[in-house]
């Protein structure tokens, strides 16, 4: 069962990005990777933040309203109560009418733990 309300907690790989966590989010849709059979969950953040796509002065410019997350460990699923995940920035929202998302050139920014929230 996929839980609607989630809490995303930073774990590792990018301390600058980790400063924005924990964050509450809502599950939007599960997509399959166009490159593999991996599931990716699109989440909408309750509170967006600016990070990614630096300008020529080195300032982050991307307003993150959504993130894509996928389980890091084989056997864990995004429907589990709690799971370790990869976090990917979403500069453009995937087509909600599609069941696939292209993450080949995605900006993988960190590892996190995703937990169901009440």
- Residue carrying structure tokens 């849709």: 29
- Work out how many domains the chain is built from and give that number: 1
Predicted TM-score (pTM) of this structure: 0.87
Task: Tell whether omega for the bond before 90 is within 30 degrees of 0, i.e. cis.
Answer: no
pLDDT in tens, the chain (118 residues): 466 899 999 888 888 888 999 999 999 998 988 888 788 999 999 999 999 888 888 888 889 999 999 888 776 667 667 888 889 998 888 888 899 888 877 787 888 999 888 6
CA separation for the pair 95, 61 (Å, rounded): 23
CA separation for the pair 52, 91 (Å, rounded): 9
Q: Between the CA of residue 49 and those of 21, 52, 68, 73, 99, what are the distances in Å?
A: 10, 10, 15, 27, 26
Neighbours of 118 (CB within 10 A): 5
Structural domain containing residue 25:
5-116
């Amino acid at each position: 069962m996929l839980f609607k309300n989630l809490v995303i907690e930073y774990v590792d790989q990018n301390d600058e990005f980790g400063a924005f966590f924990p964050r509450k989010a809502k599950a939007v849709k599960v997509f399959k990777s166009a490159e593999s059979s991996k599931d990716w969950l699109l989440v909408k953040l309750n509170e967006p933040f600016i990070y990614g796509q630096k300008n020529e002065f080195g300032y982050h410019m991307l307003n993150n309203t959504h993130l894509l997350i996928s389980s890091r460990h084989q056997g864990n699923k995004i429907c589990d109560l709690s799971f370790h995940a990869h976090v990917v920035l979403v500069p453009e929202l995937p087509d909600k009418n599609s069941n696939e998302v292209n993450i080949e050139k995605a900006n993988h920014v960190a590892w996190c733990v995703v937990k169901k929230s009440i």
